[in-house]
A and B are shown apart, each in its own frame.
Chain A
Amino acid sequence: MFTPEMLASVKKVEATRQERLGMEPRRMTAEEKDALLKAYHPDYREDGFDTIKIGPNKGEKVPKELGHLLHSNSRLLHHPIDLTKIDYDTDVLVIGGGGAGASAAIEADNAGAKVMIVTKLRIGDANTMMAEGGIQAADKENDSPVQHYLDAFGGGHFAARPELLRRLVMEAPDAIKWLNELGVMFDKTEDGTMVTTHGGGTSRKRMHACKDYSGAEIMRTLRDEVINRGIPVVEFTSAVELIKDEKGQVAGAVLLNMETGDYMVARAKTVIIATGGAGRLHYQNFPTSNHYGATADGLVLGYRAGAPLLYQDTIQYHPTGVAFPAQIYGALVTEKVRSLGAMLVNVDGEAFMHPLETRDVAAASIIRECTDRHKGVTTPLGSGVWLDTPMIEQIGGEGTIEKRIPAMLRMYLNYDIDMRKSPILVYPTLHYQNGGLEIGGDGFTKAISNLLVAGEAVGGIHGRNRLMGNSLLDIIVFGRNAGKAAAAKAKETELGTLTLKHIEDYAEELKSAGIESEDVSPLLLPHYARHER
């Protein structure tokens, strides 16, 4: 499968392996990291960004593709919806069927609220399902929530909102316990001790995992629990606009049946946006590790209804996406591969960086290696560097890869690449939306009193970069919190008359700003179909 040029480079990687096994590459200083990020991280590429022209974040930076969606009109602008005909009436409406949405629904149900989930694909078709490496929680003797806070705060460039980060780290152990009691099978030793490893930027080994199916194991358990509880899940149904009332509260959503094209009205006393990320917008033409539906719908819905964004200009590029073969280009190679000992190595077999720097630093470093330093390996779709996976077997013993990262082994074996024997080629892939809708420590948006956000659609939990294992954690912590808070809030919420006037107001604002777009948003699904004419 490898080209002759790749094979020649593999020889060099093999030649330096024994020597590299005994050493730990130096970590970069704070100054080196800053300079590297400014020069090579895609967040600093001015041509990838636009300025938001209307709304609460007017004047701020935004990725061009997201900006375009914010500057587009609602698909309902010229399509009147009869809001007096209610198809679904509920206390809590959860938009999104991933880990955050499912956790929220379970907790809202627990609290006695009437709750339902709408999701544009199936429940579980979400980035949660694809999270491989693990979930952080400070539950070991040498660790503490305070240490977790420090790692995450520093790793996120001191930009996380303290009240959100506090909730994340303080409720982390309870999140793990909750999942374990739902039946999630964590990797444990015989006496019940959690098997934990490092992630990039962690100072303690606090990464809990379920092999490299961590997110899948969590998601399928949550999905099973949602179904067991009889919580209604309306699949293949998108929320295309939030509904408000004359008091400025949110009052539900207009839904679109993805298959029939029919619109429906869901009325709700509280709404939780749990729509996830934006990888399928392919910022700066990057491939993505995200699921098919990751198109930032919730950000568009919330923004149009008046909720501000936070850190919408910071994106996480996972340093190790698949660079070769082409069939799985952009797919995630879990950070756990590096946690288990694999080094990042250039075309000449040199370990050019410490394998466990934070993700933004690692991604920028790989981009530098492949561009200015000309030390990348050429692939049919660009270039990449080696992730020296055979080191894992030498460090952890034969069979470690099959036991700890079976999904990775399987993915590559499909294309006749045996990562136990051969290194693999990686390049950064669009992975995570660091920013999103702004919430307070209680989970509610500040602009709309009964609108909540949970999961990847939230901005501010992680600051300007997220550590591995803090996203699976945040969907559980903030999903659960949102479910409880939404259930309580629903009890005291009196809805007024339903209206979509905010859509017309938004259209007026666009017009005043001189923006004329034929396109509508949210996007719902990426445009991948090729049409010859």
Chain B
Amino acid sequence: MENMVNVYFFGKKYSVPADLTIMTAMEYAGYTLKRGCGCRHGFCGACATIYRIKGVNELKTCLACQTQVQEGMYVASIPFFPTDKRTYDINEIKPNQQIMMELYPEIYSCIGCNACTKACTQNLNVMQYIAYAQRGELEKCAEESFDCVSCGCCTVRCPAGISHPMVGLLARRLTGKYIEPESKHLTKRVEEIHEGAYDELIEQIMQKPITEMQELYNNREIEK
């Protein structure tokens, strides 16, 4: 007999193998997941989950696909949360503190409770990146929030109603577009291609017989 544990999905008890994740345990229990399941490998944030171990006061948040089941786990998935994303034209806005004030003024209502950071399934310092956003330090906000998978567990727990992942996303787009220096070699290559600098060469290689291509490929020089 496999090592089994008792878990409670939405309050209902199931006995499941102890080595499963919350997600695979739900499937073992017979659930066909439609919501609350996306990439299954910890990148998409679809499977935000909240749980409490029987007899322990603390509420925990996690990604169901990345978390192993435990005895006495009371599990509720949060397949959707009304996160508040503001819309904007990336070409019209400027990378400054003003834009944060305009689009996400509620970040200034942060009471510093740190519930967002405690809830983060990626162990990010969420409150810190909100603080950077408040101060208009967009690059720091972008860096600190970079590994966010937008599961929304922070937002669920926030007493100020902040949609943290959306704040981080705005900071990252502004940083990527406006703050980080231009890649001159990229701009140059795009221009060269546009001007037709490679047209003839690419036509030539497309026309080569397979045997010649094999020769070229097998003897090409590989950058160290």
The chain A residues found within 8 Å of chain B, CB to CB, are 29-30, 121-122, 124-125, 129-130, 137-142, 144-147, 149-151, 153-154, 158, 162-163, 166, 169-170, 173-174, 176-177, 180-186, 188, 190-194, 198, 203-205, 211, 213, 215-217, 220-221, 224-225, 227-228, 230, 236, 258-259, 289, 291-292, 326-328, 331-332, 406-407, 410-411, 414-415, 525, 527-532
Task: Decide: B38 and A182 in contact? CB cutoff 8 A.
Answer: no
CA distance A269 to B33 in the complex (A): 33
Q: B202 contacts which of A149, A176, A203 (Cβ < 8 Å)?
A: A149
Supposing A122-B38, A227-B87, A228-B89 touch, asked if A139 and B202 sit within 8 A by C-beta, the answer is: no
Q: Does A158 contact B190, Cβ atoms closer than 8 Å? A: no
Chain B residues with CB under 8 Å of A174's CB are 190, 193-194
Proximity bits, B136-173, A CB within 8 Å = 1, else 0: 00000010001101100000000000000000010011
Q: Which of B175-224 contact A (CB under 8 A)?
A: 175-177, 180-187, 189-190, 193-194, 198, 201-202, 205-206, 210, 213-214, 216-218, 220-223
Asked whether B10 is an interface residue with its Cβ less than 8 Å from the other chain, the reply is no
| Chain B contacts for A228, CB-based, 8 A | 87-90
CB of B151 to closest CB in A, whole Å: 12
Closest A-B pairs by Cβ, 5 of them: A183-B173, A154-B217, A192-B181, A185-B176, A125-B38
Q: Given A139-B189, A327-B20, A414-B67, list of 8 further CB < 8 A pairs? A: A130-B44, A140-B185, A154-B220, A177-B186, A190-B181, A198-B223, A228-B88, A228-B90
Given contacts A169-B202, A170-B193, A188-B183, contact A225 B90 (CB under 8 A): yes
> Could you give 6 example pairs across A and B, Cβ below 8 Å?
A139-B189, A150-B213, A173-B193, A180-B177, A194-B183, A530-B29
In the complex with contacts A154-B214, A292-B33, A173-B173 CB distance below 8 A: no
Q: Is the CB of A411 within 8 A of B44?
A: no
Given contacts A192-B181, A224-B169, A528-B27, contact A145 B193 (CB under 8 A): yes
Residues of chain A within 8 A (CB-CB) of B174 are 183
- Does B108 lie at the interface of the complex (its beta carbon under 8 Å from any beta carbon of A)? no
Say whether, besides A144-B198, A186-B176, A220-B150, A528 and B32 are in contact (CB < 8 Å). Answer: yes
Is the CB of B6 closer than 8 A to any CB of chain A?
Answer: no
Q: Are B189 and A173 in contact (CB under 8 A)?
A: yes
CB pair A166 B31 closer than 8 Å: no
Enumerate chain B residues within 8 angstroms of A224, measured Cβ to Cβ: 85, 169, 173
| A30, A129, A163, A193: residue with the most chain B Cβ atoms closer than 10 Å | A129
**Given A125-B39, A216-B43, also A525-B32 (CB < 8 A):** yes
Interface residues on B, range: 35 or more
A158 touches B181 (CB 8 A): no
With A125-B39, A190-B181, A203-B220 in contact, is A182–B146 under 8 Å at CB?
Answer: no
Contact A146 B205 (CB under 8 A): yes
Chain A contacts for B67, CB-based, 8 A? 414
Chain A proximity of B171: nearest CB distance (Å): 10
Known: A30-B218, A291-B38, A328-B41. A193 touches B185 (CB 8 A): yes
Whole-angstrom distance between the alpha carbons of A328 and B67 in the complex? 10
Residue interface mask B73-105, A partner, CB < 8 A = 1: 000000000000101111000000000000000
CA A158 – CA B214 in complex, angstroms?
8
B residues touching A (Cβ–Cβ < 8 Å)? 19-21, 24, 27-35, 37-44, 46, 66-68, 85, 87-90, 122-123, 142, 146-147, 149-150, 169, 172-177, 180-187, 189-190, 193-194, 198, 201-202, 205-206, 210, 213-214, 216-218, 220-223
Bound Cα distance from A153 to B19, whole angstroms: 43
For A221, list chain B residues within 8 Å (CB): 169, 172-173, 176
Known pairs A144-B201, A327-B20; A292 contacts B30 (CB<8 A): no
CA distance A224 to B83 in the complex (A): 13
Instruction: Determine which of A138, A191, A203, A332 lies in contact with B181 in the assembled complex, contact meaning CB atoms within 8 Å.
Output: A191
Known: A158-B210, A292-B40, A529-B27. A203 touches B46 (CB 8 A): no
Chain B residues with CB under 8 Å of A204's CB are 223
Residue among A151, A176, A180, A327 making CB contact with B19, cutoff 8 Å = A327
Give chain A residues whose Cβ lies under 8 Å from the Cβ of B216: 150, 154
Smallest distance from the beta carbon of A445 to chain B beta carbons, Å?
22
CB of A154 within 8 A of CB of B213, answer yes
B184 — which chain A residues lie within 8 A by C-beta?
192
Q: Chain B contacts of A30 at CB under 8 A?
A: 214, 218
Is A530 touching B30 in the complex (CB atoms < 8 A)? yes
Given contacts A139-B183, A220-B150, A331-B41, contact A205 B87 (CB under 8 A): no
* A125 in contact with B44 (CB, 8 Å): yes
Among candidates B27, B89, B90, residue contacting A530 with C-beta atoms closer than 8 Å: B27
| Closest partner residue, chain A, to B165 (CB atom) | A220
- Chain B residue numbers with a CB within 8 Å of A205 are 223
A149 to B181, CA, bound (A): 29
Provide the residues of chain A in CB contact with B31, threshold 8 Å.
529
Q: Taking each of B174, B201, B223, which has the highest tally of chain A beta carbons within 10 Å of its own beta carbon? A: B223
How far does the Cβ of A189 sit from chain B's closest Cβ, in whole Å? 9
Q: How far is the CB of A260 from chain B (nearest CB, A)?
A: 11
Tell whether, in the assembled complex, residue A130 and residue B41 are in contact, meaning their CB atoms are under 8 Å apart.
Answer: yes
A193 and B172 within 8 A (CB)? no
B172 engages A185 (CB within 8 Å)? yes
By the criterion CB–CB under 8 Å, are A180 and B183 in contact? yes
